[in-house]
Structure 1
């Protein structure tokens, strides 16, 4: 199979370990499929973190993925505030805001890969939704939003919003505004991918499918992604 016949997948994670971890596992699973070439695009430091914290896979499996270090200018890096009223790590907000700055190098990467691929598929974290616009401008590309929380979390969040209660104790006001801004950017996506399975969350997935942002777009349940060994207790016959 020549490169022109292949489907190239570009994974764009959000630079927080829980998000990196899930999408790295998904990348490794996709890399085992014939005809798929998988690329993982993040900042150099976060690519390094993802590799060093790999669990459940042999280190040799990382060679099946192409890692791309997206340049990021020097940004403020304040120390953690032990007196913060929020449990959220507010000192990371400058990094999260700076993810807007990778748009240009990411666009360059996508254009380059699209020229040697039959189809380019961009899978980006829901908090990296600006990437959907980059893929929308490429004729042979499409983008999908990856949702890292559970389906139940999304349903609970919607209920709290309807009741006028939010996540002030969990997230800082700056991060809530950041989430709202990124949510407005997902209109160009071709569908949604969520780290769950119907055996566990079928009821919540059906509820999500009726929500406006998910309506008329496919919703894929592809989890759980973390390859943690399952310990089964077998009774000993007497």
Structure 2
């Protein structure tokens, strides 16, 4: 139960690992630095993700609610990692039914929330929830400001989606970027006018800009022009950049024996000699993709650490110069090891943030959603090189092997990318340390939340 003397914040994450983890990292910072009381809405199937935070933070409590039943999803599915990509939209829609139990809980709480902080995938129903409670709603973007800005542009202007060769222009964004339609989010490309779920999604993304404030997992030194754009474009102008949260994230739980084995193997590798390969918790590589990666790793001669989702078919004969990890691995700790010099990545923002925080250069293979925008950011910062693109694409073995070999072969281009990655690491670390841009923005956010509590006290006293 939230203490009546502390500002009480209601936090609503979206049930996807890539969305939940950075928001939980913010909750830890708000609880420790801001002395805030926080309630996190969670469903039973997602509660284990929250457990380490609850153990470490006594002022954070869960509000456990059953996941709303729906025939559109398989039984017991409560997180995107349990679903094929085409069902994500139905999970988004079903999750909104949590509005019904949350509203009376807030109204009867002896220390009601002074604000709601919720994921940008929940805006369509958490903004009305905040209005019903007469409290501010803050939108959390786990993704970069560049992508968030583009999403606002897309759903406002609704460019045509019937031409697969269409190049979509973003003239109002800094630099006027362009992207092929195929590189845009499937949630947008699959929109059907009049369809219940499609219209819900459109309303959801349009609601983002109506929030009282926006909290973004990025830092000014990387995305200053896009943050300024959002401040000018959003109704309120309140935008706080508090990342990269990977630089201040708590260590995730993992088996001690497995971790020690990996670290011991890395300890025996030369500095910067290992390529870490991982495509996130959502992407399931096809057999053709796995064969191409395995062939390229074998042909390249590099040492490697390859992490794959359970169910991925990995060709045999991968021992010797490398290791294959089935399932989740302690990615942040692996990237921070001195032996890891490069990261072959799908460009999920959490993975890229971790690489930036560790100073690791990237070979990029964006597959969908926000990843093409993230890859563009990585390449603009000169900390990564494109080697493939597309969720269905399989790289040429010779070409990928050549790119992998060049990472340790000492080419001038690769040397420059590694130097840039080391420099960006320093800038990112400075941003989250005391006096840094993100540290200061988080402080300003905490001050606003405390002010809301004082305003409520004053209003209540005046009504007596």
The two structures share one fold, judged by TM-score above 0.5: yes
The residue number in structure 1 matching 2:91 is 95
Quote how far apart the aligned CAs of 1:74 are: 2.4
Match of 2:139 in 1: 145
> Are the counterparts in 2 of residues 194 and 219 from structure 1 also a CA contact under 8 Å?
yes
Q: Give the CA deviation at 1:109.
A: 2.4
CA contact (8 A) 2:43 2:64 kept: yes
Offset at residue 36 of structure 1 (A): 0.9
Deviations 1:110-155 (CA, angstroms, capped at 9, x unpaired) = 2233x425x612101111111122222224x221111121012234
**What is the alpha-carbon distance in structure 2 between the residues aligned to residue 99 and residue 39 of structure 1?**
18
CA distance in 2, matches of 1:11, 1:196: 19
SS in 1 for 2:133: coil
Q: Secondary structure at the match of 2:63?
A: strand
Give the match for residue 68 of structure 1.
Answer: 63
- 1:60 to 1:71, Cα distance in 2 relative to 1, 3 A: closer
- Which residue number corresponds to residue 127 of structure 1? 121
Question: Post-superposition shift, 1:201?
Answer: 1.2
Query: Which residue number corresponds to residue 14 of structure 2?
Result: 14
Counterpart of 1:85 in structure 2 is none
Q: Secondary structure at the match of 1:217?
A: coil
Residues 33-58 of structure 1: per-residue CA shift (max 9 Å, x gap) = 3541011102221233x236x6xx7x
Q: Unaligned regions of 5+ residues in structure 2, if any?
A: 76-83, 155-167, 171-177, 192-196, 250-331, 339-464
**How far has the Cα of 1:204 moved from its partner?**
1.6
The DSSP-based 3-state class of the residue aligned with 1:145 is strand
Structure with the greater relative contact order (CA < 8 A, sep ≥ 6): 1 or 2?
A: 1
Q: Which residue of 1 aligns with 2:218?
A: 196
1:198 and 1:169, CA in 2 relative to 1: closer, same or farther beyond 3 A?
Answer: closer
8 Å CA contact retained: 1:7, 1:36: yes
Residue 236 of structure 1 corresponds to which residue in structure 2? none
* Distance (whole Å) between structure 2 residues aligned to residue 68 and residue 4 of structure 1: 17
1:207 to 226, 229, 238: 229
- Report SS of the residue matched to 1:220: strand
2:43 is matched with which residue? 43
Contact 1:133 1:188 in 2 (8 A): no
Q: 1:107 aligned to 2:83?
A: no
Mapped pair 1:185 → 2:231: no
Q: Distance in 1 between matches of 2:230 and 2:28?
A: 27
Q: Which runs of 5+ in 1 are unaligned?
A: 80-87, 234-238
Indicate conservation of the 8 Å contact 1:132/1:189, yes or no: yes
1:78 Cα deviation from its structure 2 partner: 4.5
Are the aligned partners of 2:210 and 2:235 in contact in 1 as well (CA < 8 Å)?
Answer: no
Tell me, in whole angstroms, the C-alpha distance in 2 between the residues paired with 1:137 and 1:187.
Answer: 18
SS of equivalent residue, structure 1 residue 149: coil
The structure-2 alpha-carbon separation of the partners of 1:161 and 1:10, relative to structure 1 and needing over 3 Å to count, comes to farther
Query: What SS class does the counterpart of residue 5 from structure 1 fall into?
Result: coil
Contact preservation (8 Å) 2:138, 2:213: yes
Shift of 1:15: 1.6
Greater C-alpha radius of gyration: 2
**SS across alignment from 1:96:** helix
Cα 1:123/1:43, change in 2 over 3 Å: same
Hey, what's the Cα distance between the residues in 1 that align with 2:26 and 2:179? 35
